[in-house]
A and B are shown apart, each in its own frame.
Chain A
Amino acid sequence: MHTRLSSLSVYVHIPFCRARCAYCDFNTYAGLESLLPRYVAALCREVELAGNRWGDFSLATVYFGGGTPSLMTPEMVERVLNALSLAFCMPPDVEITLEANPGTVDGHKLRQLRSLGVNRLSLGAQSAHDAELRLLGRIHTWGEVVATVQEAREAGFANLSLDFIFGLPGQTLERWQETLEAALGLAPEHLSLYALTVEEGTPLWEQIEQHLLPAPDDDLAAGMYEYAEERLAAAGYSHYEISNWAREGYACRHNLTYWHNEPWLGVGAGAHSWLDGRRWANLSHPEDYIRALERGEMPVAEHERIELATEMGETMMLWLRLAEGADALRFRERFGVELEAVFGGELAELCEVGLLEWDGRVARLTPRGRLLGNQVFLRFI
């Protein structure tokens, strides 16, 4: 007997932005919004092709990420959702998230999106200080964040997530505390707090290289993280993943698919998929992506077969990001071998240095381990 996977998560990538943020190295492009209509048609075509192959899956979650998905008109979102429901089974409790940038949506648009079935909104707030927002190259102010949250609530969004970044060049602990308080003041159901990673080649990286900005201080960022853990726990949020907090019942189901290392389908330029033991990536540039689909071809750029040993390591890397940790029983169900037999040595070592708790049934990062996750993950890779 083998169990057939019945549910699937779909990620829809929208690789367009009004302007590139100073820290961003994602697959996104400014000034190409005029491609959107053709791009949406290509998305629908890709969904259709995927449905031919995996159409008997039922969709658990849909996530519009970017880039800036809120640059799409509600009609465009509707076309994609229609294509998805034609290609797959779409149950009523499907989680549909859309990432939005404050300043690109208004009350009217939000109401339309809500009525299309979008039931979770993820807002890139990033900071409650306008000076920090400018440093990051964001196109909005904190005032616009507050207004967008208000409008989203009025439009009926009961599941709202806010993203923030800490550890900015020159940022003090006090500044960060103020941002956190302002965030809590908006009472979101979900919070993602990311330590700034200075990615090579970004404008921010260049400024730091040229000593125009101080490099972020990792020790200070660690302090900010610990402060956030404490403060958000007190405010009733559960710290369910290294960078994510949620009120009871509001953990992001879509992202949990990734962290459980369960299958997902990514559509859109540069999107990745993980299905049938294979991981593949689409062509990154939207024009290449559109042209491939206009010719009726799959827009795949790279393709990798994940060997079982690699999958075990990746699974540990992802499971351990979660507060629930790596469960020995689930490991055995999935791989048919004991966790202890595969990674016993690593688990013991990591316990000994205090980065991991391991009681023979579940392995979890310790608070220190959460800040030193790479030191843990690399033992499993």
Chain B
Amino acid sequence: MHPSHIRDFCIIAHVDHGKSTLADRLLELTGTIPPHQMTAQVLDSMDLEREKGVTIKASAVRMEYTAPDGERYELNLIDTPGHVDFSYEVSRALAACEGALLVVDAVQGIEAQTLANLYLALEADLEIVPVVNKIDLTAARTDEVALELAELLGVDPDEVLRVSAKEGWGVERVLEAVVRRLPPPRGDPAAPLRALVFDSHYNPYKGVVAYVRVVDGALVQGEPLLLMSSNTVVEPLEVGVFTPGMTPTGRLEAGAVGYVATGLKTVRECQVGDTLTTVATPATEPLPGYRPVKPMVFAGLYPVEGEDYNALRDALEKLQLNDAALVFEPESSQALQFGFRCGFLGLFHMEIVQERLEREYGLDLIATAPSVAYQVVLQNGEVLRISSPADLPDPATIKEIREPWMRVQVFTPADYIGQVMEVVKRRRGIYKSTEYLDNQRVVLNYEMPLAEVIVDLHDRLKSVTRGYASLDYTFDSYRPGDLVRMDILVNKEPVDALALIVHRDQAYEKGAALVRKMKEVIPRQLFKVPIQAAIGGRIIARETVSALRKDVLAKCYGGDVTRKRKLLEKQKAGKKRLKQFGRVVIPQDAFLAVLRLEED
């Protein structure tokens, strides 16, 4: 297909604004998938995505479209992840496109992620086609939202498309706009090959399958390729396009979107953002924008049953094949014994990994509270990267602790500015600026430590704004802070997996709230259990779990013997990890108590 008849585009939207449903309709309308084979939301291939209604991995599909004037076009739809944890992946998917459909829910209107992704799209020089979706809903504010979008983009309100992807209304016009309003692919067909890797997945038969957009030149099966950033040579096993199944074509021309089966063993060797060129006539420069993935949030994952340790390692290895952002290394804890310190892009990513481990691999896990990665500068000048508070060295050897700071955007109705300010202030946020989108909606810009972001900031913002606020954040820099390690002692013993790093100014308040919360979740034992928070050996807060008073089956007669025995067996199994008296079993809730300090 001549590049003038190719369009490479994506759909950007806030979670739940109907991106996947619109994609389904486009596939149906172009006959890419016959209606009877349509499963809801074809592009979201993982169960979890379908359940959470969120796209986790990008994917791509080629459609053939005959315009009303009879011209035939090749449309490549690249789906983008819809969550803030995956903003780098979003940026690479956008870089593979020339245009984007900006989909906004006719009831909800513009939200923080809409904006954040829109800015990313504008940075990538994409042409934007605004679309108001869900106009069939009775609560739809179609005209209002269309006007907002028009103002935001500086376009005529008539250019805003109005659709109901669910009902199929107006979808035909979306296809027409893609062809008419989006530019054909940029790039030079005659130059040496440069193809952008914007996603990948692991296939047990073909190795890592890289999703690529050919920018310059052509990608031909049989020619050895080079991944320019990782300097890895690839002998492609197969080259083809997604229709939406993998269909070999042997060749991808400039402007095309498709895949290369690389035969590589893990997705880490073929990272998103890397550039493929040929070994024979390599391009001089890779495509811009490559950044190796770096986990930002860390937590310990431990099997509840010690014997599941190997199964957990195997499962993590399998997940890692498909998830370049997931890192892990063995970790041991006195409280939880053997497990893994895992690194994630963010909390959402962590949640997905944990859920997949539990669901797909049947593992029963305990997760410790998430922590960020700190840079610890020692007196001798050495810099350590610490992802677990328990690893923090002796304070006397530390010159400075630095923590990651984020640029945070909170999008909220103007009525709630005060409440948002309050939440952010309590989390050491530094206010930067306010932008009014219109007279009701504002974007508040802050800088804030990531450690504060991951402690339920999103839920708190939602709760103080009756669900209206949305949030976006990107990494800014590492900055020094007055940070100290707080130990939690249960029954006078420090529990390593409960240690946390806090700002000194917050230590008392946090310590008190934390031990209070822990008191609620630690079950009563046969003896009194003090719960203490300490900094450098000094106790700063204390609560006591009083001893268990009553635990006895009042009735036990003939008919009950088997039943009572089974009840006791169950109670005993629940305590399996408690091998002797004197040890307090700490339930999962206690490890996450730190995340819920402000709940009440």
Contacts and interface: CB of A to CB of B under 8 A. Distances in A.
A318 B561 contact: yes
A80 B552 CA distance: 35
Interface residues of A, number: 47
B550 A317 contact: no
Interface string B520-549: 000000110000000000000000000011
B580 interface: yes
A258 B556 contact: yes
A1 interface: no
B552 A279 contact: no
Interface in A166-195: 194-195
A5 interface: no
A313 interface: yes
Contacts of A243: 554-555
Given A272-B561, A272-B562, A355-B526, A375 B556 contact: no
Contact of A318 (B548, B556, B562): B556
B558 interface: yes
B528 to A, nearest CB: 13
Contacts of A371: 549-552
A178 B527 CA distance: 32
A258 B552 contact: no
B559 interface: yes
B561 A375 contact: no
A223 to B, nearest CB: 8
Given A355-B526, A381-B568, A372 B548 contact: yes
A355 B575 CA distance: 18
Given A317-B568, A349-B580, A242 B561 contact: no
Nearest to B527: A353
A377 interface: yes
B581 A242 contact: no
B425 interface: no
A259 B564 CA distance: 13
B571 interface: yes
Interface in B364-400: none
B180 to A, nearest CB: 59
A374 B554 contact: no
A11 B557 CA distance: 11
A222 interface: yes
A269 to B, nearest CB: 11
A21 to B, nearest CB: 14
A271 interface: yes
Nearest to B551: A374
Nearest to B526: A353
Contacts of A219: 549-550
Nearest to A302: B562
Interface in A189-229: 194-197, 218-219, 221-222, 225
Given A377-B568, A378-B572, A266 B559 contact: yes
A264 B561 CA distance: 12
A377 B551 CA distance: 11
Contact of B552 (A271, A281, A314, A370): A370
B459 interface: no
A136 to B, nearest CB: 14
A122 to B, nearest CB: 12
A378 B580 contact: no
Nearest to A225: B550
A65 to B, nearest CB: 8
Interface string B553-592: 1111111011011001101100100001100000000000
A274 B557 CA distance: 12
Contacts of B527: 353
A281 to B, nearest CB: 8
Contacts of A261: 561
B552 A374 contact: yes
A195 B554 contact: yes
B552 A373 contact: yes
Interface string B240-270: 0000000000000000000000000000000
A270 interface: yes
A217 to B, nearest CB: 10
A13 B562 CA distance: 17
B571 A372 contact: no
Nearest to B555: A194
A222 B568 contact: no
A221 B548 CA distance: 12
Contacts of A370: 552
A372 to B, nearest CB: 5
Contacts of B553: 197, 373-374
A351 to B, nearest CB: 11
A255 interface: yes
Contacts of A333: none
A304 interface: yes
A39 B575 CA distance: 44
A364 interface: no
Contact of B569 (A355, A373, A381): A381
Contacts of B568: 317, 374, 377-378, 381
Contacts of B569: 378, 381
A271 B560 CA distance: 10
Interface of B: 526-527, 548-559, 561-562, 564-565, 568-569, 571-572, 575, 580-581
27 contacts: A194-B555, A196-B554, A218-B551, A221-B550, A222-B550, A243-B554, A255-B557, A257-B558, A258-B557, A258-B558, A264-B558, A272-B558, A279-B562, A304-B562, A317-B556, A317-B565, A353-B527, A371-B550, A372-B548, A372-B549, A373-B553, A374-B553, A374-B568, A378-B569, A378-B572, A381-B568, A381-B572
Given A255-B557, A266-B559, A270-B559, 16 more contacts: A11-B558, A11-B559, A194-B554, A195-B550, A219-B550, A258-B561, A272-B558, A272-B562, A281-B562, A314-B565, A372-B548, A372-B549, A373-B551, A373-B552, A374-B552, A375-B548
Interface of A: 11, 13, 27, 194-197, 218-219, 221-222, 225, 242-243, 255, 257-259, 261, 264, 266, 270-272, 274, 279, 281, 304, 310, 313-314, 317-318, 321, 349, 352-353, 355, 370-375, 377-378, 381
List the 9 closest pairs (A to B, CB-CB), nearest first.
Answer: A373-B552, A222-B550, A222-B549, A194-B554, A272-B559, A195-B554, A378-B572, A378-B568, A374-B551
